[in-house]
A = this chain, B = another copy of it.
Amino acid sequence: MKQFPNRVVLDETHTPKSWYNMFADMPFEEGEDAFMLHPGTMQPAKPEDLYPVFAEELCRQEFTRERHIEIPKEVRDYYLSYRPSPMYRAYALEKLLDTPAHIYFKYEGQNTSGSHKLNSAIAQAYYNKKQGVKRLTTETGAGQWGTALSMACAHFGLELEVFMVKISAQQKPYRKAIIETFGADITLSPSNTTNAGRGVLENDPDNPGSLGTAISEAVERAVTSENTRYTLGSVLNQVVIHQSVIGLEAKEQLGMYDVYPDIIIGCAGGGSNFAGLMSAFMGDRLTGKAKPYFIAVEPAACPSMTRGRYAYDFCDTARVTPLAKMYTLGCGFMPSTIHAGGLRYHGMSPTLSKLYHDGFIDEARGAFQSEIFKAATIFTRAEGILPAPESAHAISAAIDEANKCKETGVAKNILFGLSGHGNFDLGAYMQYMEGNTHDYAPTDNELEKGFASLIKTNS
């Protein structure tokens, strides 16, 4: 076996030319393919039902069982400005932990948006541009998706309106600034420019906003404006497909050194990052070629996989979107804003949810803030990379697994996804250093209130 360098960066000729769609290899039971229900009829949704909302090719990708989807030249050209992303061996962290484990991480933070979100943003912008769409809408909370999409729209010459949660814009003025530097328009949500926003403001003029309301406003704007479509940065299978580029590269990078991961760890909010990292390895598992152990890490504050239910639920709180079959806390669940960073979504990608439900994802864990910032600080000092709080969930679990290896003496290969950098999250790091980080998990009563918002369906 060749010595693994600190960092492996593939030559561009090795970047994937196609995305991989896990749907192609996932076992579906008869009639189990209805991932989405039309919110009006409660009947299985078809690609055409989504045409007013998303670009047509993206609607097609939402349902297709095609195994490989060619990455368009325009998208791949842009990928090559920041991809292939580097694969690191965390030698310094291993030494610090005194573990026999080999720890690898795939780093998606080396682009201005700071995270993996750009992988799908550039694809979604491209397909909309190709269809002749002039203007996109979206929402953003933590800001990674809004930044990524503003980059993509600047590149393809598309207009963009970002509905930014009002309280987030106040807490993260720099995120707002970078999105505006890329030329996008920001509307603070709730706004008085949509029915959804006005409805909220009538009841509560000082409402600080929520991701749910922002989604409702962005969707409403898209379907009521000419030549305008909506985009979403996670949850959907189209996004999972685009993010497969992470895992395809990761498998090739490790393969060059005859390394195959025993354990694969990712943080999971909407699920797109972990789904992307696992893709090629999960393909091996679905087809019986290998059996790595998959661990999803979510915030204890928003525990959709660890404490949620597998059910059809709305993707937003205002109940205007299709229903998706997923692990969910109920669209009425209000995630605590105590928890820093993203990963505050009531549901989980239907693709990831099914893989978990069917036992292909082995384990889901909840992590507290104090744990993840402790892990982030250890990692930063050892490896010299400041992780996003989201990514720190994965680091925390990777350290736990490496410590187990120390106890057992077994030298496992641990791969985790470092989905983004924390350069825009230093306010949260400051709170941690000042001792103002609070751990939180919803009570059973709070969860029950969320579950009460789940509607009855036939499934």
Residue contact A9 to B9, C-beta cutoff 8 Å: yes
A152 CA to B119 CA, complexed, in Å: 31
Residue contact A433 to B182, C-beta cutoff 8 Å: no
A155 CA to B382 CA, complexed, in Å: 6
Query: Per-position contact with B for A354-379: 1 when CB-CB < 8 Å, else 0?
Result: 00000000000000000000000100
Q: How many copies of the polypeptide does the oligomer hold?
A: 2
| A308 adjacent to chain B (CB < 8 Å) | no
| A77 adjacent to chain B (CB < 8 Å) | yes
Contacts A429-B178, A429-B181, A433-B181 hold; do A112 and B81 have CB atoms under 8 A apart?
no
Query: Size of chain A's interface in residues, with CB distance under 8 A?
Result: 44
A383 CA to B151 CA, complexed, in Å: 9
Query: Per-position contact with B for A1-43: 1 when CB-CB < 8 Å, else 0?
Result: 0000111010110000000000000000000000000000000
Q: Which residues of B contact A78 (CB under 8 A)?
A: 384
| A411 adjacent to chain B (CB < 8 Å) | no
Residue contact B177 to A426, C-beta cutoff 8 Å: yes
Min distance, Cβ A147 to any Cβ of chain B, angstroms: 10
A182 CA to B384 CA, complexed, in Å: 8
| A171 adjacent to chain B (CB < 8 Å) | no
Q: Which of chain B's residues has its CB closest to A84's CB?
A: B9
Give the residue among A11, A88, A174, A421 with the most B Cβ atoms within 10 A.
Answer: A174
| A263 adjacent to chain B (CB < 8 Å) | no
Interface members, chain A 59-90 (any B CB < 8 Å): 77-78, 80-82, 88
Q: Which residues of B contact A384 (CB under 8 A)?
A: 78, 81-82, 111-112, 151, 154-155
A111 CA to B183 CA, complexed, in Å: 26
Residue contact A386 to B81, C-beta cutoff 8 Å: no
Q: Which residues of B contact A427 (CB under 8 A)?
A: 174, 177
Residue contact A385 to B6, C-beta cutoff 8 Å: no
Min distance, Cβ A148 to any Cβ of chain B, angstroms: 10
| A258 adjacent to chain B (CB < 8 Å) | no
A177 CA to B431 CA, complexed, in Å: 10
Contacts A77-B6, A81-B6 hold; do A180 and B433 have CB atoms under 8 A apart?
yes
Query: Per-position contact with B for A135-177: 1 when CB-CB < 8 Å, else 0?
Result: 0000000000000000100110000000000000000011001
A90 CA to B143 CA, complexed, in Å: 26
A6 CA to B82 CA, complexed, in Å: 9
Q: Which residues of B contact A9 (CB under 8 A)?
A: 9
| A423 adjacent to chain B (CB < 8 Å) | yes
| A114 adjacent to chain B (CB < 8 Å) | yes
Contacts A178-B426, A424-B423 hold; do A7 and B433 have CB atoms under 8 A apart?
no
Q: Which residues of B contact A382 (CB under 8 A)?
A: 154-155
Give the residue among A77, A80, A423 with the most B Cβ atoms within 10 A.
Answer: A423
| A403 adjacent to chain B (CB < 8 Å) | no
A81 CA to B173 CA, complexed, in Å: 31
Contacts A178-B386, A181-B386, A426-B174 hold; do A92 and B381 have CB atoms under 8 A apart?
no
- 20 further A-B contacts with Cβ under 8 Å, apart from A151-B384, A178-B423, A181-B426, are A5-B12, A6-B80, A7-B80, A78-B384, A111-B385, A112-B384, A112-B423, A154-B380, A154-B381, A155-B382, A174-B426, A177-B427, A178-B429, A180-B433, A181-B381, A181-B386, A181-B429, A181-B433, A182-B380, A423-B423
19 intermolecular pairs with C-beta atoms under 8 Å apart:
A6-B77, A9-B9, A11-B11, A81-B383, A82-B384, A111-B384, A112-B380, A112-B384, A112-B385, A112-B421, A154-B384, A173-B430, A177-B426, A177-B430, A178-B386, A181-B386, A181-B429, A182-B381, A183-B381
